[in-house]
Structure 1
Amino acid sequence: MPTYDFIVVGSGIAGLSYTVKVAQYFQDKQKPIKIALITKTVAEETNTKYAQGGIAAVWDQEDSFDKHIQDTLVAGDFESDQQVVEIVVKEAPERLKELISYGTDFDRKSDGSFDLVKEGGHSDKRILHYKDSTGNEIERALLEKVKSFSSVDFFTHYFAIDLITQHHLGEKVTKDTPHKKCFGVYVLNKKTKKVETFIGKTTLLATGGIGQVYQSTTNPTIATGDGIAMAYRAKAFVKGMQYIQFHPTALYQPGKKPNFLISEAVRGHGGILKNLDGTTFMEKYDERLSLAPRDIVARAIDSEMKKNGTDHVYLDTRHIPKSEIIAHFPMIYHYCLDQLGIDMSEEMIPVVPCQHYLCGGIIVNEHSQTNIEHLYAAGECSHTGLHGANRLASNSLLEAIVFAHRAFEKSVQEFGTQIIPAGIPDWNDEGTRNPEEMVLVTEMTRELESIMSNYVGIVRTDRRLKRAYDRLELIYLEHEELYKQSKITVPLCELRNMINVAYLIIKHARAQRENKGLHYNLDLLNA
């Protein structure tokens, strides 16, 4: 079984930027190390790749740290950790300069200055972007940088199953066990269909979001909450799972998954939300109109759709010059034209809210450390305290690079203190057989998605949450029986992870007895 100095699970902005920093640090010291970068499909298929809008940072003299901090706290319904907010906002410019030094290209004006834009919830223009495919550009630059280091071994089409802890050495491990330690991860080689044991002195989870738990999501098919579920099973602490962000404006395409995102930046550029009869409605909900924070806009759209009995609303960009639309939003423009025959300079875009981002996750401290020694988490799978009850637009990529940097600083500082015990066992699947009833996995997955979308969505009630909990328990029991009997497959494990994640979302939502940010329970309105 291979032993690595660092194991990174996930190849989005958090995993890649961490890998670059660690590799560069030891290369500069001329100290040979081995880094394993594990990703479940191809390296570039990540949530990062699909981030359209941009990355927030105070870059202009007219802007200020205080304003960005305040905007983040307001969007998070003052549930954010103010110290963490200050850390992220104040460290943002330096981390952005590093991305630029790696070759990331952000749009500039004719005078060479950055073309900063404003998005919902922001009080100033502070979003750096590359047209409407910022995440893809960041992913490209980081991947090129990572591939320049000989110390990094890429493992594509490898699916992480479980973290290795004292539990696998025969010790009883509970959430209260002191000094829990991570020794690596069991990983399914999708090509050989064999489970391999990766021993690691330091492990970073950068596995992204949980969108596939819902019927409609902007997240790619890989976003099944794997890192959160693995950490939870290893007795890491998890928080804030009730705060599921539904992006207000996904393109309305019934039956399509993932949903195509119509970026926040389109509204930042002047796009106006309207009902099917062409009337505006955001003035009834918030003085910031279409540029209100996402939770407010998503609930407003949900309310209008239910009130009017419609399946979507419109985003009107017809008043924006066509040349500007094509210059700023080429991917969105051509997708609408090619897929739906809609020219957004002449016709309104049908949009609907759908799941987009998780504000909760694995609890980490200001150095990205979990409560399990030598296990770090960064990006969407982590809970840093930045987002509170709702994420401010374009703060997610920012959080990922800031906390990946902090994880790098701490993990190289503790490097050499880790002791890998002898006797870590290989994966044991004796007595299992190839699953014959894959239709059960397909149907259980479909049922789980339906439960979460219908009962644990934008608007909730106590009865809906209890119904979701009861139905999920039946799926859990049925899946557990199948899992114990079967050899490992990706669909079986992804469903296992989604059941864990759905359970945590429902559990945290039922425990939340106050409407804050993204958690909106009708039974709490008069409580």
Structure 2
Amino acid sequence: MISCDVLVLGGGIAGCSAALRAAAAGASVVLVAKDALGESNTAYAQGGIIGMPPPEASDSPALLASDIEAAGAGLCRPEAVALLAAEGPRLCRDFLWREVGVPFDHTGSPEPDSTAEAAHSARRIWHVKDATGRAIQGALTAKVKAHPGIRILEEHALVDLLTVPHHSRDPRRVYDPIQVWGAYVLSPGRDVLMCLARRTILATGGLGYLYLHTSNPASATGDGLAAAYRAHARIVNCEYVQFHPTTLFVPGRPRTLLTEALRGEGARLINRKGERFMERYAPDRLELAPRDVVSRAIFQEMAATGEPSMFLDLEPLKTRLDLEARFPTVLETCRKAGLEPTAQPIPVVPAAHYFCGGVAVDLEGRASLPGLFAVGEVSCTGVHGANRLASASLLEGLVWGVRAGDACAREATGVQLPDPDDFAPWKHATGAPEPDPLLVEQDWTSIRTTLWNYAGIVRTRERLLRGRGDMGYLYHRLEAFYRAAPLSRTLLELRSGIICARLIMKAALQNPESRGCHYRLD
């Protein structure tokens, strides 16, 4: 059994920021990472993060807020947007750059360089070449590992949130309101550890792996969202799954993100004939239209032409930029796939990228259940509305990670932890055979294919009804599978995946209005 003031589940920008701030305030912190600390969705973010604009730029918090709300298609929470626009760039400078030491790119100016990205009205994106997320993650990881007040549990998977009354030994606690007191986590040796905490922060990231085509790693299976759902936390906006317009298309290989900064610097989308088709879909913004618009344009062009991809042409960049210096990750990725991006257009397709819904939280990250906070992609602050503005997700994780860390450290003071003997130890099947890998793979294929086909870039009621029925049948089968098989990370992820798939299907079916990245053909 482990006890602490603040339990942080997840080690991306949101989780690490929360852990550092809580520990700095004197709280004892345990940070649980599903993989080695440093492996997270944050590390895969290429383009950048919204930073302080250069002094001469005609930019302001009000203009940034306006851009966020325009991208969010009228569904953003105004007070959350205002908070992000006012505090985010300052935290990017003072916390990430000056305190944590993220090596943002410079060209001799006092502040880091700024670039442009789609749907931004100013050049305000700070970057580290085209591997910004990895640089941010690396700097945060080093800080967390060096902090004496943070205990790290690597390669531990979330089993369930620890709550009263769900896990209480005393049946009379059923009359009590739900309270979160930490979590059960699965160790690499398959022991289930009870982690008691005065405050618990979910920072488990997104669920992009639930889709057949995704820019996310295989670990993005919605574990935190599923655990919050089982604990009866309030969850909102699950229909809003954002698709990134440009991932590298190579048949038979996983999709790889091609940063939005390419289009921000002038790369053009073309079809096989070399025609620049965005003029037909967004004549005012072209390639710099919001992501949902660009993704649907590529999808519709592919459908109209029967082609398996469209293309991203870097030719306009070659006269202005040193591509080898500015986009080394993109060039290396293409060359490993046998393509020469400086000599030929890059084949691209849209792919599931970011979850705009999640656990509903307030301006400090509090969820609807006492004792529980949520930050980063697993949460829904209201900043993104129906469609996320480029490079706003890292900033949101930073802002709410910092605020939640501060609030949890403050609230944990004086809170008496319950007696661990009041909670039942975790029980799971023993002596049963391991799950058949072929069956697990088939179940994942069913989930990922069904979501892509029925709840993907464009949706209809008929498709969603079919998908809901298929996912309902699979859910009941997998629940029986879960209860009969020995506990493992594989099984936990599969259970999370089917729960989150059903949440997406249900929300998409209930919302007949096309808005942002939820697009109903009917």
TM-score range, shorter chain: over 0.9
Letter in 1 for 2:114: L
Q: Matches of residues 350-389 of structure 1 in structure 2 within 5 Å?
A: 350-389=347-386
Secondary structure of the residue aligned to 2:316 is: coil
* Deviations 1:340-391, CA, capped at 9 Å, x for gaps: 2x22221111100000000000000111000111111100000000000000
Matched with 2:406 is: 409
Q: Which moved more, 1:116-125 or 1:313-322?
A: 313-322
Matched with 2:453 is: 454
1:419 deviates by: 3.1
Q: Matches of residues 76-475 of structure 1 in structure 2 within 5 Å?
A: 76-96=72-92, 97-100=94-97, 101-166=99-164, 167-169=166-168, 179-190=177-188, 192-257=189-254, 259-286=255-282, 287-321=284-318, 324-340=322-338, 342-422=339-419, 423-429=422-428, 433-475=432-474
Matched with 1:39 is: 33
Separation in 2, partners of 1:445, 1:173: 39
Mapped contact 1:19–1:146 kept (Cα < 8 A): yes
Matched with 1:493 is: 492
Letter in 1 for 2:65: I
Matched with 1:29 is: none
**Gapped regions of structure 1 (runs ≥ 5):** 27-32
Letter in 2 for 1:143: T
Mapped contact 1:211–1:217 kept (Cα < 8 A): yes
Secondary structure of the residue aligned to 2:201 is: strand
Separation in 1, partners of 2:172, 2:477: 25
1:171 deviates by: 7.0
Mapped contact 2:80–2:382 kept (Cα < 8 A): yes
Structure 1 residues 122 and 177, CA, compared in 2 at 3 Å: closer, same or farther?
Answer: farther
Separation in 1, partners of 2:169, 2:305: 59
Q: Which moved more, 1:51-60 or 1:275-284?
A: 51-60
Letter in 1 for 2:63: K
1:280 deviates by: 0.8
* Deviations 1:297-356, CA, capped at 9 Å, x for gaps: 00000000000000000000023227521121011112111222x222211111000000
Matched with 1:73 is: 69
Structure 1 residues 449 and 64, CA, compared in 2 at 3 Å: closer, same or farther?
Answer: same
Separation in 2, partners of 1:199, 1:123: 46
Q: Which moved more, 1:124-133 or 1:487-496?
A: 487-496
Separation in 2, partners of 1:416, 1:450: 47
1:437 deviates by: 3.3
Structure 1 residues 23 and 131, CA, compared in 2 at 3 Å: closer, same or farther?
Answer: same
Separation in 1, partners of 2:30, 2:467: 38
Letter in 1 for 2:357: G
Separation in 1, partners of 2:148, 2:110: 35
Separation in 1, partners of 2:490, 2:167: 24
Separation in 2, partners of 1:111, 1:228: 42
Letter in 2 for 1:485: A
* Deviations 1:62-107, CA, capped at 9 Å, x for gaps: 2111111110000000100011100001001221121012111111
Separation in 2, partners of 1:314, 1:39: 37
TM-score (norm 1): 0.94
Q: How many residues align?
A: 513
**Residues 1:54 and 2:44 aligned together:** no
Mapped contact 2:10–2:204 kept (Cα < 8 A): yes
Q: Which moved more, 1:476-485 or 1:55-64?
A: 55-64
Q: Which moved more, 1:60-69 or 1:246-255?
A: 60-69
Letter in 1 for 2:448: E
* Deviations 1:437-492, CA, capped at 9 Å, x for gaps: 34322211111111001111000000000000000011111111111111211111
Structure 1 residues 13 and 436, CA, compared in 2 at 3 Å: closer, same or farther?
Answer: closer
What is the identity percentage for the equivalent residue pairs of Structure 1 and Structure 2? Answer: 37
Separation in 2, partners of 1:75, 1:448: 29
Q: Which moved more, 1:203-212 or 1:408-417?
A: 408-417
Separation in 1, partners of 2:169, 2:2: 21
Letter in 2 for 1:37: L
Mapped contact 2:169–2:424 kept (Cα < 8 A): no
Secondary structure of the residue aligned to 1:40 is: coil
Secondary structure of the residue aligned to 2:245 is: strand
1:256 deviates by: 2.3
1:420 deviates by: 2.5
1:240 deviates by: 0.7
Structure 1 residues 447 and 430, CA, compared in 2 at 3 Å: closer, same or farther?
Answer: closer
Separation in 2, partners of 1:170, 1:77: 47
* Deviations 1:135-170, CA, capped at 9 Å, x for gaps: 101111111111121121111111111001011015
Separation in 1, partners of 2:49, 2:476: 42
Mapped contact 1:58–1:64 kept (Cα < 8 A): no
**Gapped regions of structure 2 (runs ≥ 5):** none
Separation in 1, partners of 2:232, 2:123: 41
Letter in 2 for 1:320: L
Mapped contact 1:14–1:378 kept (Cα < 8 A): yes
Runs of at least 4 residues of structure 1 off by over 4 A?
A: 170-174
Separation in 1, partners of 2:250, 2:273: 19
Separation in 2, partners of 1:262, 1:518: 19
Structure 1 residues 171 and 85, CA, compared in 2 at 3 Å: closer, same or farther?
Answer: farther
Matched with 2:19 is: 19
Separation in 2, partners of 1:15, 1:366: 16
Matched with 1:30 is: none
Mapped contact 1:173–1:180 kept (Cα < 8 A): no
Letter in 2 for 1:328: R
Mapped contact 2:72–2:386 kept (Cα < 8 A): yes
Letter in 2 for 1:35: V
**Residues 1:514 and 2:508 aligned together:** no
Mapped contact 1:218–1:250 kept (Cα < 8 A): yes
Structure 1 residues 376 and 131, CA, compared in 2 at 3 Å: closer, same or farther?
Answer: same
1:212 deviates by: 0.9
Separation in 1, partners of 2:477, 2:62: 51
Separation in 2, partners of 1:177, 1:85: 38
Mapped contact 2:429–2:483 kept (Cα < 8 A): no
Mapped contact 2:5–2:409 kept (Cα < 8 A): no
1:196 deviates by: 1.4
1:173 deviates by: 12
1:243 deviates by: 0.4
Secondary structure of the residue aligned to 1:162 is: strand
Q: Which moved more, 1:276-285 or 1:150-159?
A: 150-159
- Tell me how large the CA RMSD over aligned residues is: 1.7
Separation in 2, partners of 1:314, 1:173: 62
Separation in 1, partners of 2:313, 2:391: 22
